[in-house]
């Protein structure tokens, strides 16, 4: 079965110079895929010519006359730029022409336009962004929200937990994945009022056998792999994600400097290059690129704005997998079952 993905080619720090080579590489790796490239047609076709890929039958181009800039206020992105590449790519999902959409554009705009065009699922107040981080167990830790909602109430965090559980069930084939609530300590007394109230909601779900709530987790637990899922508001999640990337770069910088210090350490680096490469691969942020916007009536995947072609291709793969494993239908079913507002009989 062919799966079609729409791509906002103009989004991100690098635009078509990154998104189009990534799309072409993805097409080669995934023969069951088709891609719709959305953007300024001249620019997109010029980049395709540059890549000698003008005539690929699994690839089509849809023109969009505008683009959302990284610093566009939400109102401009949403109300003024009605023919932006981001919006057109999302509309293709709404119209059923694409199974999912990928964009590296402004997160706030992507979420706002997605909500406007696709609408949220019944029972969901606010969609969230969920992505993966590496951990000591070698399995990914899924974390949400990573930046869509900078101010959250307990019922939002509660919904994030449910959506995260559904995503991990679908993508990892795990029954009842464990959920941790990110806090400043593991004890019940720790945290702000929002987190404490969220813990009560999740404890109730756990007691009723609906969710596998582990309890509070701390920042270090993300990378220990204490739980399959870590739930937090979008401010904390975004800062933590970017801090993790920053440490990754600091580690690379320091390792390189230390191994270049003398002929002996350079020889060590040469002999240990396999170990160093595998080490680097574990922390390569490209591998973890592609956050799922969960809770919408359609699949939207957000790539890091600064993603290179390798990283952007991972985001496309993420959207392909989500479509293939039918995350959307599973979300709808499980949300209808789990969300209190749509299942009052559960209370």
Instruction: Enumerate binding residues for its own copies (CB under 8 A).
Output: 70-71, 73-74, 108, 134-136, 147, 150-151, 182-184, 187, 189-193, 195, 218-224, 232, 234-236, 238-251, 253-255, 258-259, 261-262, 264-265, 267-272, 274-276, 278-279, 282-283
Question: What's the min distance (Å) between Cβ of 224 and its own copies?
Answer: 6
Do 293 and 109 form a contact (C-beta atoms < 8 A)? no
Which residue, 1 or 189, is less far from its own copies as judged by CB?
Answer: 189
- Minimum Å distance from CB 243 to its own copies? 3
Q: Is 191 left (phi over 0), alpha (psi -120 to 50) or beta?
A: left
Q: In the 3-class helix/strand/coil scheme, how is the chain assigned residue by residue?
A: CCEEEEEECCCCCCCHHHHHHHHHHHHHHCCCEEEEEEECHHHHHHHHHHCCCCCCCCEEEEECCECCCCCCCHHHHHHHCCCEHHHHHHHHHHCCCCCEEEECCCHHHHHHHHHHHHCECCCCCCCEEEEEECCCCCCCEEEECCCCCCCCCHHHHHHHHHHHHHHHHHHHCCCCCEEEEECCCCCCCCCCHHHHHHHHHHHHHHHCCCCEEEEEECHHHHHHCCCCEEECCHHHHHHHHHHHHHHHHHHHHHHHHHHCCCHHHHHHHHHCHHHHHHHHHHHCHHHHCCEEEECECCEEEECCCCCCHHHHHHHHHHHHHHHHCCHHHHHHHHHHHHCHHHCHHHC
Q: Minimum distance from CB of 67 to its own copies (Å)?
A: 16
């Amino acid at each position: 079965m062919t799966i079609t993905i729409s791509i906002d080619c103009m989004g991100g720090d690098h635009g078509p110079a990154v998104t189009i080579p990534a799309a072409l590489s993805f097409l080669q790796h995934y023969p069951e895929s088709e891609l719709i490239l959305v953007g300024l047609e001249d620019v997109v076709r010029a980049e395709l010519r540059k890549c000698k890929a003008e005539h690929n039958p699994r690839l089509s181009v849809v023109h969009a006359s505008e683009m959302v800039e990284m610093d566009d206020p939400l109102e401009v992105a949403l109300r003024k730029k009605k023919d932006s590449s981001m919006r057109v790519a999302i509309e293709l999902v709404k119209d059923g022409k694409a199974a999912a959409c990928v964009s590296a554009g402004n997160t706030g705009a992507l979420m706002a336009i997605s909500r406007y065009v696709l609408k949220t699922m019944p029972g969901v107040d606010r969609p969230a962004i969920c992505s993966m981080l590496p951990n000591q167990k070698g399995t990914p830790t899924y974390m949400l929200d990573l930046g869509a909602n900078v101010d959250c109430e307990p019922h939002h965090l509660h919904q994030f937990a449910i959506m995260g559980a559904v995503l991990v069930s679908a993508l990892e084939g795990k029954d009842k994945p464990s959920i941790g609530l990110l806090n400043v300590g593991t004890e019940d007394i720790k945290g702000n009022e929002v987190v404490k109230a969220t813990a009560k909601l999740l404890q109730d779900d756990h007691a009723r056998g609906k969710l596998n709530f582990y309890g509070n987790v701390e920042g270090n637990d993300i990378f220990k792999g204490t739980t399959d899922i870590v739930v937090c508001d979008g401010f904390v999640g975004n800062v933590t994600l970017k801090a993790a990337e920053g440490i990754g770069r600091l580690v690379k910088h320091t390792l390189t400097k230390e191994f270049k210090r003398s002929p002996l350490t350079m020889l060590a680096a040469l002999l240990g290059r396999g170990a160093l490469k595998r080490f680097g691969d574990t922390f390569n942020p490209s591998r973890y690129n592609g956050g799922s916007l969960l809770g919408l009536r359609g699949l939207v995947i957000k790539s890091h704005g600064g993603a290179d072609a390798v990283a952007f291709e991972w985001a496309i793969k993420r959207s392909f997998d989500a479509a293939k494993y039918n995350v959307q239908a599973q979300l709808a079913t499980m949300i209808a079952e789990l969300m209190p507002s749509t299942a009052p009989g559960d209370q």
